[in-house]
Amino acid sequence: MSNELLTGLVTGPNLFSYIGAPSLQDHDDIADCNNIATRSADLGHHRYVNPRGWFEEYARTLSFLGWSLYGDSIHTRTQHLVSGSVADFLVQSAHAMRDAQQANAMIDTLDTLKTNHSAILSFDNETQEGETFQVVPARYDSQGNLHIALFKLELSVEVKRRSFLFWNWEERSARIVQRKAFLKLDRSELDNKRTLINKVLDEHLMRRFTLRRNVS
């Protein structure tokens, strides 16, 4: 698999979007760390009953594995009305942050996800059609450090839909609550935790769906 073709990853309730293709090692590390963070959060808090506690435990676990939390804080919740699809909302949100790279990467990620029916089915099942899910853009900075932004989203609708990311909701019929946190990887700290990471993954490994561009 060429890393140049990677656009993202679906695992559990998490959708990763790559802003610039990561190395294959970083791709695996992202999947492994977030696999463990999801498992830890699920053990500590009910994913749907206590999404705030779940998210905080998720971020704490990543911090323990070597992902330092910016400012040691998680940004408080915000609410948004959705007109159109959640996919459009994600792209528009990136544009609103004046981040063209993130917006373009999100378009690529969603385009490749749309053709991966197994990944969509898994994401729907893991999130209860969007009741609570995470979107995680990942990128390198100019020094080659790996950063991720965690966006915890809760979709509130009257009637749930399969392929909820791509369903066009009527105006003001869908509401999203969002929490967010930003983290940076300390590779040396992660390397110190590899024995533990491998042990945990031997006991519990979530399904993974790598998203990549098709080569014609």
Domain definitions of the chain by residue range: 9-212
Question: Could you give the C-alpha distances from 26 to 23, 66, 86, 117, 190, in angstroms and in order?
Answer: 5, 13, 27, 25, 11
Q: What is the C-alpha to C-alpha distance for residues 25 and 70, in angstroms, rounded to an integer?
A: 23
Report the topology of domain 9-212.
Answer: Delta-endotoxin CytB (3.40.198)
Per-residue model confidence (pLDDT) at position 215 = 62
Q: What is the pLDDT of residue 97?
A: 79
In angstroms, how far is CA 209 from the centroid of its own chain?
A: 13
- What is the per-residue pLDDT for 64? 96
Distance from C-alpha of 168 to C-alpha of 157, rounded to nearest angstrom:
12
| Token representation of residue 27 | 């791709």
Q: How far is Cα 128 from Cα 15, in angstroms, rounded to an integer? A: 14
Q: What is the pLDDT of residue 216?
A: 53
pLDDT along the chain (216 residues), means of 10: 82 96 94 96 93 93 94 77 92 85 93 96 96 96 94 93 93 87 95 95 92 77
Please report the pLDDT score of residue 146 as a whole number. 96
